[in-house]
Amino acid sequence: MILMGAIPDSGGVRFSLWAPEKSRATVEVDSRGSFEMAGNGDGEFSVDVAGVAAGSRYWFHLDDGGRLPDLASRRQDADGASVVVSNTFGWTDNAWNGVEGCDEVLYEMHVGTFTAEGTWLAAAARLAWLRDLGVTVLQVMPVGSFGGAFGWGYDTTLPFSPFAPYGTPDDMRAFIDQAHKLGIGVILDVVYNHAGYGDYYSAYSEHFFADRHSEWGRAFNFDGPRSRAVRDFFVQNAVYWIEEFHLDGLRIDAVQELVDSSSEHILAEITRAVRKAAGARQIYMVVENQPQERRMVEPPERGGCGIDAMYNDDFHHAAHVCLTGHSDFYYRDYRGSPQELVSALKHGFLYQGQRSNMRNRPYGTPNLLTAPRHFLHFLENHDQIANSANGSRLGSLSSPARIRAFTTLLLLGPQTPCLFQGEEFGAVTPFLYFLDREGAAAKQVAAGRLEMLSQFQSVRDPAMAARLADPCDPDTFQRSKLDWTQADSNVGVVALHRELIALRRSHLALSQRSGARIDGAVLAEAALALRYSMEQPEHDRLLLANWGRDIVMDVLPEPLLAPPDGHHWVARWSSEHPDFNGAGRVPVDLDEVWILPAESALFFQAVENLS
């Protein structure tokens, strides 16, 4: 397939599109007139127009119809005109090697709410903060153009065009270039599972769509008649972000909705294409995959998609029940037991093919042999915060000490941790669902949100339902913006995250490259032990977490608590250090009776005995 969109060269611009049901196509260039596009008989139309340069505005016309934006527009003006963009940004990241995929620390952000300004330039001013925190990869929520002035971005209508309110395409490039300069990779959340509200795909061809709907809208045609061109369009989109924006990979949304019976699944094709486009630069590919399929991370030669990591909702859900005590709706598959957390830290997914109570059928696939680096663990993300009546952060739902203990499990656990913007300083601002719509569309969005949230029994209370934030109200968007003054006042929370990430980097046993054998045990009704065993015993580490009451450690029939031969345990770190707003560290001597404090976590190092 030809490269779609407006592609500048030394003499002008080549305009190309795909519209197989149309017999005629023209491009209207502002102040230049209209130019007939030549068809190739397979739905592709193109024309070279001399003298057109970057910044020129244009529209497509099909069969003498009205103005249409370019589906592959690189920039959109507010009035609907597409704009020619040149790829002449002055990159300074030639030495950047990409994202390795081991020992990463991810950070999810939404450009529009990350700062008060809601722009790439304002976000770039915070990159040094994230570098100092220890973040290695930014995961940016979708930025493809969509209708309205604000939204999460999952209703993408023009996937090549960065959302204009965030800034220009070069502003986005400057953000990525600065991140690379600071040693931070950037991956982009992309949406290939449905067309956003108000899309233009049908105006070009009904073949863009399959004869089915995803959970959110019309699904794309990846395996039906004329699907080759549709696949090429989205493969080109993925490659575009890697080549023209130097992105380090993609996070692909809800891939269970990418129905594809082709010999090579569209995910595998996209992953293969972006790795090739990146050349020597290492690419990091992430998916959200509700069925929890191992084939996502299996290599292509074994029939897999070659993805690097999958989000593990099971860890979040089990931790959420522990932290809050609530097990409604999809949380009812979890008891919040320490065994669930031990199993998640050892095996990743908790559901690997056994029956799910919520679904009343088997859920998940076998993943016992899947390496920890293939799982992304988190305590907060955009969905899980917003999937509540008030968009409340964990700080509003649990005690600070308990959150410190679970943050320790997240950041010292063997899987790859991911933070959500503001989590690192205990943000109390909500993160709500917001989408700019008007009239009947706004009512439809609000009704859909109420229907979804009403699966939580508490939201069925009419008094609670009446208080739900209106997704289409600009105030809902404004309320979701981070308040960075909280970072200055919550220094203890910031220190906790910085120290834990530093610990993760400084202890060999915590590295995903170390080959450490991970094992865990339940110590009490709300306490666990996690043991990192190494070939050299001085590298062994032990993590204890207790989110219940004080535990008198007198009877210890658990072998994981025993130090390696010729060594003893020394407590190196406590979540209750006053630097983290804790209650203070208690004396610990594992050769004596001692107390594992309530709502705390302790990290131990094996030290060789002197005699």
Please count the residues of the chain: 611
The domain over range 5-83 is classified in CATH as 2.60.40.10: yes
Q: How far is Cα 319 from Cα 384, in angstroms, rounded to an integer?
A: 12
Reported CATH class of domain 516-608? mainly beta
pLDDT of 539: 98
15 pLDDT band, cuts 50/70/90, is very high
pLDDT at 10 over 90: no
Q: Which residues contact 306 (CB under 8 A, 6 or more apart)?
A: 268, 271, 272, 275, 285, 297, 298, 299, 300
Lookup: tokens for 160:
């090549």
CA 309 to chain CA mean position, Å: 11
Q: How far is Cα 3 from Cα 18, in angstroms, rounded to an integer?
A: 10
Tens-place pLDDT, residues 228-262? 999 999 999 999 999 999 999 999 999 999 999 99
Find the helix packing angle between 266-278 and 227-245, rounded to 10°. Answer: 30
CATH number attached to the domain at 106-440+473-501? 3.20.20.80
Q: How far is Cα 424 from Cα 434, in angstroms, rounded to an integer?
A: 23
pLDDT at 1 over 90: no
84 pLDDT band, cuts 50/70/90, is very high
pLDDT at 42 over 80: yes
Helical (H) or strand (E) element with 245: helix 227-245
**Domain limits of the chain?**
5-83, 106-440+473-501, 516-608
Lookup: tokens for 127:
């990159």
Q: Provide DSSP, 374-427.
A: GEEEES--HHHHHSSSS---GGGTS-HHHHHHHHHHHHHSSSEEEEETTGGGT-
Give me the chain's average pLDDT, please.
96
Cα dihedral 269, 245, 43, 38 sign: negative
Dihedrals φ, ψ of 203, to 5°?
-65, -25
Number of C-beta neighbours around residue 554 at 10 A: 9
Alpha-carbon distance values, 527 to 17, 285, 412, 586 (Å): 60, 34, 16, 17
Number of C-beta neighbours around residue 543 at 10 A: 21
Identify the CA nearest to 312 among candidates 415, 453, 431, 433. Answer: 415
Tens-place pLDDT, residues 340-375? 999 999 999 999 999 999 999 999 999 999 999 999
Identify the CA nearest to 159 among candidates 290, 69, 37. Answer: 69
Average pLDDT value for residue range 201-207:
97
Q: In the block, which residue shows the tokens 């509540």?
A: 388
The catalytic residues are: 253, 288
210 pLDDT band, cuts 50/70/90, is very high
More confident position, 87 or 124: 124
Tens-place pLDDT, residues 396-450? 999 999 999 999 999 999 999 999 999 999 999 999 999 999 999 999 999 999 9
Q: pTM surpassing 0.95? A: yes
Tens-place pLDDT, residues 376-401? 999 999 999 999 999 999 999 999 99
pLDDT of 272: 98
Q: How far is Cα 169 from Cα 508, in angstroms, rounded to an integer?
A: 40
pLDDT at 571 over 90: yes
The reply to whether 106-440+473-501 and 516-608 are identical in fold is: no
Report DSSP state, residue 484: T
Average pLDDT value for residue range 131-160:
97
Amino acid, res. 601: A
Instruction: Specify whether the CB–CB gap between 175 and 187 falls below 8 A.
Output: no
